[in-house]
Structure 1
Amino acid sequence: MARKSQSVENVSQYHHGDLRSALLEAALKALSEPEPQPLSFRDLARRLGVTTAAPYHHFRDRTDLLVQLAIQGLGLLFLEVNAAAEPGDSLKAKIRAFTLAYLRFARTQPGYYRLIFSPEVRSAGESVPEFREASNKSFDLICRMLAEDDPDLSKKAARERAVSLWALLHGLAVLSSAGTLTRRLAAADENRVAVDAAIRLLC
């Protein structure tokens, strides 16, 4: 009887339009676990105590939900890296701030970070304008920093250098989260090594 009452209470709660947010939150929580398991609408519905049909009122399917969640994550990543440096800072200071903010996001938001770079989301997101726009913002920020420092730098050269930084930071973030990096580099030294490498690449 208690279980039935709890289920009725949850369904009533989500009738007020917040099931979409609850589904996104539940998915993020599941993806943030140390060893996340594949998600299905059935799993999410069970976590929230709603019917298996309820998620379809807010998302076309599981992939649609994950893309929308990734858009949220990309927005948060941009806010982190964009706020890290002051407009009048030198390029070295901006690169240092960007590097530390990026790695901090990867460490503190593992669910979002894994999702942003998952093959399923990247593939499906290419047909979603909001995803493409969100995924470009942090990359374009690097290009702008480089262009502001050197107005003669071509767009092609700026993008190539931005790709180098992106590859460096993503590689470090993935190796760190997997525990592979700690066998070769002390955790206390990760930020210093990352900043030094980023500055050598771009400055």
Structure 2
Amino acid sequence: MPIQASKGKASSTTKAPRVKTRRASAYHHGDLPQALKRATLEVLSGPDAHLLSFRDLARRLGVTTGAPYHHFKDRTGLLVSLAVDGYGHLHDEFVRASQQSSEYSLQIEALTLAYLGFARREKGYYTAMFLPEVSAALTPELRAAANRSFDLICTLISQHNAQLTQEQVSERTVTIWSFLHGMITLSAAGPLSRRLPYGKQDHFAISSVKRCLGISAT
């Protein structure tokens, strides 16, 4: 119930003091590095990935344009950090896939599907992992993260192909990785997906990878 003014006295209103609000800054945003990464993943997952900039990220998060520089040297530093995370997630996917069966053929099938699934589901990470500026940076941490996934495939092939030299194993792994990356790239661009739906792409990929490794596709 509103309070009414006493009779014969003019009513008075007391204005509450204005509280100054401070725009969020690098020091009032919680975990800004993670927020920057999440915002970057959103951008990289969309059609405007080429427009990514610290200025745009700062605007999205409501922080000053200089705030991101407190945590990452530049845009490349942020992207490299995301690529390291992405390779880590991909390695975890590979580990889970390889543990689904003890049969070599089924392990290769699971790893192929794990790669395609990760690339489609985690578009932001996948884009960061293969950006030219990230590849050019190739920091020790990034190299180590990428090698873990690559080496897992090499180890599996070596265990079931004792007649192959390490160089031959590496060449086959490069061939498989290049083939799958090409499928993802062409499918996203349109030409492949118009000719080969995702379901058929998976079957084609599995058959092709097995053929490369000399495994019966049956």
- With normalisation by structure 2, the TM-score equals 0.83
Question: How far is 1:62 from its partner?
Answer: 1.0
Further displaced range: 153-162 or 179-188? 179-188
Whose RCO is larger (CA < 8 A, sep 6+)? 1
Unaligned runs of 5+ in 1: none
Q: 1:107 aligns with which of 111, 117, 120?
A: 120
Question: How far is 1:35 from its partner?
Answer: 4.0
CA contact (8 A) 2:26 2:68 kept: no
Percentage of matched positions with identical amino acids = 47
1:56 and 2:74 aligned: no
CA contact (8 A) 1:59 1:65 kept: yes
| Structure-1 separation of matches of 2:197 and 2:41 | 29
| Structure-1 separation of matches of 2:47 and 2:121 | 12
Question: How far is 1:39 from its partner?
Answer: 1.2
CA RMSD across the alignment: 1.8
Question: How far is 1:48 from its partner?
Answer: 0.5
CA contact (8 A) 1:81 1:138 kept: yes
1:181 and 2:196 aligned: no
Other-structure match for 1:190: 201
Other-structure match for 1:140: 151
- With normalisation by structure 1, the TM-score equals 0.89
Q: 1:119 aligns with which of 112, 132, 144?
A: 132
| Structure-2 separation of matches of 1:97 and 1:69 | 25
Unaligned runs of 5+ in 2: 1-19
Further displaced range: 181-190 or 96-105? 181-190
Other-structure match for 1:8: 23
| Structure-1 separation of matches of 2:109 and 2:164 | 20
| Structure-1 separation of matches of 2:130 and 2:165 | 28
Larger Rg, first or second structure (1 or 2)? 2
CA contact (8 A) 1:115 1:121 kept: yes
Structure 1 residues 189 and 179, CA, compared in 2 at 3 Å: closer, same or farther? same
Question: How far is 1:175 from its partner?
Answer: 1.1
Other-structure match for 2:52: 39
Residue identity in the other structure for 1:167: S
Further displaced range: 60-69 or 174-183? 174-183
| Structure-1 separation of matches of 2:100 and 2:110 | 12
| Higher helix residue share | 1
CA contact (8 A) 1:74 1:116 kept: yes
1:172 and 2:187 aligned: no
Paired residues, number: 195
